[in-house]
Amino acid sequence: MAIITDEQNKFFRLVTKNTEYQMKADNFGVLKHLWYGKHVNTDMDYLLQYPEISFSGNIYEAENDRTYSLNTLPLEYSCEGNGDFRVWALSAEHPDGTRALDLRFADFEVRKGGYAFPGLPAVYSDENETETLEVTLEDACSNICVTLFYGVLEELDIITRAAVITGGRETVYLERAASLCLDIPRGEWEWVHFHGRHAMERVTERAKLVHGVQESSSVRGASSHQQNPAVLLCSPDCTETSGECIGAALMYSGSFSAKIQLDEVDQTRLVMGINPDQFRWELRSGESFYTPEVILSYSADGMEKLSHNFHKVIRNNVCRGQYKLAERPVLINNWEATYFGFDEEKIFNIAKQASELGVDLLVLDDGWFGKRDSDCSGLGDWTVNENKLRGGLGKLVERVTGLGMKFGIWFEPEMISEDSELYHAHPEWAMTIPSRKPIRSRFQLVLDMTNPEVREYLFNSVSAVLKSADISYVKWDFNRHIADWYTPTLGKDNLGEMPHRYVLGLYELLERLTNAFPNVLFEGCSGGGGRFDAGMLYYTPQIWCSDDTDAFERTTIQYGTSFFYPVSAVGSHVSAVPNHQTGRVTPFESRAAVAMAGSFGYELDLNTLSDDEKNAVRGQIARFKKYGELIHNGLYYRLSDPLSDKVAAWEFSDGKDALVQGMVFRTAPTSLQLLVKLRGLDPDKNYRLDGTDFTASGAALMSGGYLLPRTWGDYVSFELYFRQI
Ligand code: DGJ
């Protein structure tokens, strides 16, 4: 039993294999957070403190007791106007303009199985894998209710959290409605977040918490390249393999906020959910507002264990469809090979060479439709450009599939070019503010995904293409952020609903299309990894990780991505040198080693390679297929930090075998050989390095390590396969 309740004392314990979470409603009905950490098997109420901190609000029922304050107690869900001056999870404007709320325990329910809310992605599972606790709190004055949902996946050490806000006596406007409030009254914490920019996503940054609020957020209408909706709190001594950490990943692809506050008495609060800066939601009596879900995990054994928990839950309980655990096709994408300059012969020749070398799938990227000879025009017109693809799409698909390859195609459904037939027919479908000139980005505007007519058009036009030929894969791109928040479908008082309604519209369309085409592999993309989040992974089991295909830079991007997201979710390709984003030249094998730590493919014209390089491609594909099971189903270990070490090294292991790959950055003369220490092996077993006579015990390889071969030149990769004997 993962959820243990003590009804009389209103005490709730969520117990997973290695973790325990506790909360309790006190005599005032205030739901206090007691614990999230290792198993303790004790009511942790005894650790609560009631300090008298001046300028803290005291609830009226506390009478003359100045020590009872919601400003200092750890709470399960904080709200505005009750004397708690820390970050609020919930704020609402009442009809009289006031904003106070005071949530007290009303009810609870425990049941088998998970939960899901209308129109939102959610962690799913077998009935026996999850138990759900619902705790309802009520504001007596307004009758507004908040039901806190806790989904407990015992085996995976995962707890999901979300909130449902139900309207009370009168209509109110929600001004913030977070998914998660997590108070941690004990200990010193640091935080890790993942920042970046286009073509440099998810750079890991770890910092000591400072007093006040630190935030990871987006106001871009997408989860963004700039900050990722996943954060980590860790003890200062936390490493990959030791120390405490808590991870929280929001299943949401729009504007988000994760605020971490270190308060006046050194307590920590994390509030995570839809970004309140772009949110105002009319909540009528009896109606419910559903927040997106947060996936939470705790590890007492460092970040590696935490990452493994997230990788498992995302692979097994977030990603869906026939590809979620299946071997992914090795693909060739024509983007960096041709950009917009192609015709059917050029594409066919790329496919032909690729098929001869063992590639499974050709992806025809941007430029195949409408008047799309550059990025200035054509978006929205999802019909083939026969000036480029003479004979039509069907003919090209037939020729490519005739080679024994699968065919995939690029769309950017949410966008519209002013220079397009769609814009001339429906200018009102583009998001623009009537009294202003629109903001352009990559010359394009965004379609109003809150409008059902737009979604219907997109469903029909994308479906028509997918039905017109034997298409097995879709790349779903999104190449700008949203500034012009206006829709004629909502009145002026409700425009604050638009950013969230946009995401709901996107999810509805993705749900419809993925259901209509269950055999198609959908890959997410947003100028690379600008919408790399657990929400998108519910619809698209892999996401193009970054537009930066430079193998050296990719080690940093993929390192940051790996804290929450599994390797199978990471689209990663071998591209040409000098690299198109950085001009850097890295060896061919190094580019392959880095791309193999993902869902593997190529993004160059293989016809331009020498015979030796073509043979290398054959070998790389064969190796990826040989190791594919271990790479995607094994556990992933970060063996070094590419931001600070001389080497990027990672390992895939199932405990029996281990594949260690990586790249050396700073080759130095007259120095000792670099060393990597393996992890996840059986210390008592011996391992042989493939292709050599070298053997060592798991204990030796993990404690002592393995000396990397000397390298000549920079960015040289290594690949070591240790087999248990
Ligand atoms: C951005 C993507 O990340 C690229 O791979 C490519 O598809 C371009 N868009 C096409 O416009």
pLDDT at 521 over 90: yes
> Rounded to an integer, what is the distance from CA 435 to the centroid of its chain?
36
Q: How confident is the model at residue 186 (pLDDT cuts 50, 70, 90)?
A: confident
Over range 444-460, report the average pLDDT.
Answer: 98
**Do the Cβ atoms of 176 and 281 come closer than 8 Å?**
no
Question: Distance of CA 588 to CAs 226, 601, 647, 667, 708, Å?
Answer: 30, 13, 17, 18, 19
Answer whether 546 contacts ligand 1 (Cβ < 6 A): no
CA distance 564 to 310: 6
**Do the Cβ atoms of 281 and 174 come closer than 8 Å?**
yes
- Ligand 1: distance of its center to the CA of 652 in Å? 29
Q: Which residues contact 584 (CB under 8 A, 6 or more apart)?
A: 550, 552, 553, 577, 578, 715
pLDDT for residue 667 = 86
CA distance 286 to 226: 38
**Do the Cβ atoms of 152 and 133 come closer than 8 Å?**
yes
Answer whether 131 contacts ligand 1 (Cβ < 6 A): no
List the structure tokens of 424: 């001339």
Write the residue with the smallest CA distance to atom 10 of ligand 1: 366
The dihedral over CA atoms of 569, 605, 200, 665, expressed in degrees to the nearest 10, equals 100
Active-site residues, by number, are: 533, 613
pLDDT at 493 over 80: yes
Alpha helices in 577-707 (DSSP H): 588-596, 611-633, 698-699
pLDDT for residue 666 = 85
Using left for φ > 0, alpha for ψ between -120 and 50, and beta otherwise, residue 206 falls in beta
CA distance 61 to 52: 16
- Ligand 1: distance of its center to the CA of 678 in Å? 36
How does pLDDT run across 322-375, given as a tens digit for each residue? 999 999 999 999 999 999 999 999 999 999 999 999 999 999 999 999 999 999
CA distance 260 to 211: 10
CA distance 621 to 592: 9
pLDDT for residue 419 = 98
CA geometry: angle 400, 403, 405, nearest 5 deg: 70
Buried b (16+ CB within 10 A) or exposed e, 620-635: bbebbeebbebbbebb
> Rounded to an integer, what is the distance from CA 715 to the centroid of its chain?
28
Q: How confident is the model at residue 411 (pLDDT cuts 50, 70, 90)?
A: very high
pLDDT for residue 78 = 98
Helix (H, G, I), strand (E, B) or coil at 476: strand
Write the residue with the smallest CA distance to atom 9 of ligand 1: 527
CA geometry: angle 253, 310, 641, nearest 5 deg: 95
How does pLDDT run across 283-317, given as a tens digit for each residue? 999 999 999 999 999 999 999 999 999 999 999 99
- Ligand 1: distance of its center to the CA of 617 in Å? 23
**417 beta partners:** 444
CA distance 220 to 503: 12
CA geometry: angle 664, 668, 671, nearest 5 deg: 110
Ligand 1 pocket: which of 368, 525, 570 to mutate (most atoms <8 Å of CB)? 525
Ligand 1 pocket: which of 410, 411, 543 to mutate (most atoms <8 Å of CB)? 410
pLDDT for residue 331 = 98
Outline where DSSP puts E strands in 43-171.
90-93, 103-112, 130-139, 145-153, 158-166
pLDDT for residue 28 = 98
Answer whether 366 contacts ligand 1 (Cβ < 6 A): yes
Q: How confident is the model at residue 240 (pLDDT cuts 50, 70, 90)?
A: very high
Q: How confident is the model at residue 500 (pLDDT cuts 50, 70, 90)?
A: very high
CA distance 621 to 297: 35
Q: How confident is the model at residue 170 (pLDDT cuts 50, 70, 90)?
A: very high
Please give the residue that has the higher pLDDT: either 712 or 439: 439
CA distance 52 to 610: 76
Q: Whole-prediction pTM value?
A: 0.98
pLDDT at 1 over 80: no
| Mean pLDDT of the residues in the chain | 97
CA distance 39 to 18: 6
How does pLDDT run across 658-691, given as a tens digit for each residue? 999 999 998 888 889 999 999 999 999 999 999 9
- In total, the chain counts a number of residues equal to 725
The dihedral over CA atoms of 489, 493, 495, 500, expressed in degrees to the nearest 10, equals -100
pLDDT at 637 over 90: yes
pLDDT at 545 over 90: yes
List the structure tokens of 426: 């429906």
**Do the Cβ atoms of 449 and 431 come closer than 8 Å?**
no
pLDDT for residue 668 = 87
Q: How confident is the model at residue 702 (pLDDT cuts 50, 70, 90)?
A: very high
List the structure tokens of 416: 């519209």
* H-run or E-run covering 561: helix 551-561
Is residue 643 classed exposed, middle or buried when 0-12, 13-18 and 19+ CB atoms within 10 A define those classes? middle
